[in-house]
Structure 1
Amino acid sequence: MATPAPTPRRRLTAGWWLAWLMLPALAGCVGSPAHQPAPQSTMTMRIAPAPAERQCLASLSQTQVNFTPLPDQYFGAGCSTYNAVRLGWLRSDDAHLQLANLGAVTCPLASSLEGWARYGVDRAARQMLGSPLSRIDTMGSYNCRNVAGTDRRSGHASANAVDIAGFVLADGHRISVKGGWSEGTPTERNFLRVIRASACKRFGVVLTPDYNPAHHDHFHLEVGAARGICH
């Protein structure tokens, strides 16, 4: 009997995480059945990373971000988590920033999120609200679904988007997008608009309550093909 060909492996050249073996698996896909067909299976595998992927992961490892590389997963029906990581905490100037309810995100999204949280949100919180940022509350990242009202896959379906619900400061003060955008104090409202402007410099798509009622309670932040969409 012929010897089977070796399974491709993928590893980070920075040298601290192990290669993943190709693993078949079955899994469901999160999303609304009314918007897309339900994927039937999941295939998990690792292949040789492209140079841009290696560079992204190497750069992310140099930012003192706590993260775990994830196996590439293909869920079918246009849904996948490719070149993705799971973020633990982000590093600010003198503390760790926690991320609540965040799932898989692509490396480019993780990189943009790290820069925005550290240099946009945390610094704005210190300057405008008098306290460092402690936690960012999210509504999740990967979600196998379409853009509402269309047959086009959302950035969430490829782990290229995250929804941000609110921000918790070190002094315990919480600013939610839902409560703060229109009904917060003048300082809170200004803070949310300042960090929206900061996000527009780092993400290709930024949608806020100004965009439509569907975004009344969160910021939608997305990387990928689209650029310069800031509402």
Structure 2
Amino acid sequence: MRIGLAGLAPLALLACVSGDDRPEPRRPAASAPKRRPPPKPVVPEPPPAETRQCLADLDADRVEYRTLPAQDFGGGCVVVGAVQLLDIGVPVSGLKSMRCPLARNFSNWVRYGVAPAAKQMLGSDLTRIESYGTFNCRAIAGSGKLSEHGRANAVDVAVFVLADGRRVSVLDDWNGGSDEERRFLRTVFQSACRRFVTALGPEYNAAHANHFHLDMGGRPLCR
């Protein structure tokens, strides 16, 4: 019996060491996530010389504006070198994206053409201009050719509002206004012909019966 008990002692000791009491195998340490290098800063391309000069001209004329990023809307409607006019001395409704040369010439036309003509010919200050807008990705009416509006290179002007409350509109007053109003509209239209590449009005076709279309593209045309 002594021998048997002695022989059982090691077995009993082994039985006390259960699987749960055994040390867990060492697991490999989780590797730290790889750190991605920071993205390289995107350096915008400098605007072309024409745009830089145009922006300098706006600054010199104390025109308030903000520059807009280049955008491709598809269908050939690509807008580059554009600004939005914020203050040119006279509020103008509907002005959004405009290529800088258009914005510069439009600002000068309003300041040095339209406003003085209103004061001299109609005896009242110009207080507001109403437009039908600038950018519109569309073709010229009745053709498949992209309009200059699709490049933010055109603006349509419809109404001139005076301090005395009068609204001189292209639609109503080109032919139906007073003598002074008709002369005023024709004077500012001829002034536009000297500042824009293309100026189209009521005598061009029925589509322009209610506004002046002014743009900086294509071939010179004043009608």
* 2:174 partner SS: helix
Give the TM-score normalised by structure 2.
0.81
Alpha-carbon separation, structure 2, partners of 1:98 and 1:6 = 38
CA shift at 1:2, angstroms?
Answer: 7.0
Q: Deviations over 1:182-230 (max 9, x none)?
A: 1111111110000011000000000000000000100000012x24200
2:95 is aligned to: 102
Q: Deviations over 1:4-50 (max 9, x none)?
A: 554122xxxxxxxxxxxxxxxxxxxxxxxxxxxxxxxxxxxxx2111
2:179 is aligned to: 186
Instruction: Judging by fraction of residues, say which structure has more strand.
Output: 1
* 1:76 partner SS: coil
Return the match for 1:7 from 42, 49, 53: 42
Alpha-carbon separation, structure 2, partners of 1:213 and 1:3 = 58
Alpha-carbon separation, structure 1, partners of 2:216 and 2:96 = 16
Q: Which structure 1 residue ranges, 5 or more long, are not aligned? A: 10-46, 91-95
Query: Are residues 1:143 and 2:136 paired?
Result: yes
Alpha-carbon separation, structure 2, partners of 1:152 and 1:5 = 40
Max radius of gyration: which structure? Answer: 2
Give the TM-score normalised by structure 1.
0.78
2:198 is aligned to: 205
Alpha-carbon separation, structure 2, partners of 1:86 and 1:171 = 29
Alpha-carbon separation, structure 2, partners of 1:70 and 1:171 = 36
1:229 is aligned to: 221
Alpha-carbon separation, structure 1, partners of 2:48 and 2:110 = 27
CA RMSD, 1 decimal: 1.3
Alpha-carbon separation, structure 2, partners of 1:157 and 1:79 = 5
Instruction: Judging by fraction of residues, say which structure has more helix.
Output: 2
Alpha-carbon separation, structure 1, partners of 2:56 and 2:209 = 36
After superposition, where does 1:10-29 map in structure 2 within 5 Å? Answer: none
Opposite residue 56 of structure 1, the aligned amino acid is C
Alpha-carbon separation, structure 2, partners of 1:176 and 1:4 = 54
* 2:96 partner SS: coil
Identical-pair percentage: 47
2:58 is aligned to: 60
